[in-house]
Amino acid sequence: MATMAKFKCLILVLLVAVSVCRSQVDPAATSSTTDMLLTTSSSGLDGAVLLRAEGLRLGELSKQMAETNRALEELLATKLRDIHYASVIGELRAEIDSLRRDMEQVKEATTASSVSSGRNDVTAEPTATSSENEQKTLHWLQSSLAEMKGEILDLNRSVNVSRQLQQQQETAGQLQLTRFDVTVLQAQVADEAAYRQQINQSIQQVDDDVQRLDHHQQLNAAQLERLENNVSYEFTSLSSIPSSSPSAVVCRTGTNEWTRPKASSPSFLFSCPPPPAFPTAQRY
């Protein structure tokens, strides 16, 4: 009765575990996947890469759930087989005990019949017949006992084989879990490589921007230097004008020279009007 109660409790626990594994997904794995998605999305990875990685993770999780269900079913079948063997062995032991009791009774009856045969010679022939029957019964009991011992040995061998199979299944399950861990690590390494490649691309883009800004800065510096030279040239032109001729200012550009009326406002001292349309230089 105690064995059957334990068997029922074991079946109930295994069924509950199988139903829970089939109906729910591990919240820790879901939360870790969500965190990984948030981190990866914040880093700016491509959406197609994220979907592909998430699909791979979901596929691996489904495989793990299927393997867990298969392992639970195999464990349930193994436990049922062990319990069946235990019940069969118990029944055989009960039968052996009963046969032993029968043999003891037969021996006691044989001893009593031999004692009574010595006392009473008249009943010698029926006693001899009963002793022959008892010997036949004893031989039959011995042969039955030998057969039961052989069956018990066969059951022990089958139980040992079932244990070896269970150990092999457990080893295969651990190996599968290790392979899954290796696959997860490979996926993480691939994600890290993609993220590192994106960072390298961003750094390269920043370097290109810095070089372009340096080039623009050099161009601006050259333009500023030209403007400073022009201003210096204008100051030189203004300083070379004699004070006796305040009515005109000489402007020079390359090989061309021209004059403009001197303005009273100082804001026009740093600029010259465009040269006249004629190509030759004139001096006034």
Residue 83 resides in a domain: yes
pTM for the whole structure: 0.30
Q: What's the maximum distance between 2 C-alpha atoms anywhere in the chain? A: 187
Assess if residue 115 is contained within a domain: yes
Structural domain contains residue 237: no
On whether residue 158 sits in a domain, the answer given is yes
- Walk along the chain (284 residues) and give the pLDDT tens digit of each residue: 455 555 555 566 566 555 555 554 444 444 555 555 445 444 544 666 777 777 788 888 878 888 887 888 887 777 777 777 777 777 878 877 877 787 777 777 777 666 665 555 544 455 556 677 777 777 787 787 788 777 777 777 777 777 777 777 888 888 888 888 888 888 888 888 888 888 889 899 998 999 999 999 999 999 998 888 888 877 777 766 655 444 555 555 555 555 555 544 444 444 455 555 444 444 43
Q: What is the pLDDT of residues 55-69, one digit of tens each?
A: 788 888 878 888 887
Q: How many domains does the chain have?
A: 1
**CA-only gyration radius of the chain, Å:** 54
The confidence score (pLDDT) of residue 245 equals 47
Neighbour tally for 38: CB within 10 Å: 10
Would you state the pLDDT for residue 54?
Answer: 75
Residue 261 belongs to a domain: no
In a domain, 225, yes or no: no
Domain harbouring 125, CATH code: 1.10.287
**Which domain covers residue 168, as residue numbers?**
2-211
Domain for residue 116, yes or no? yes
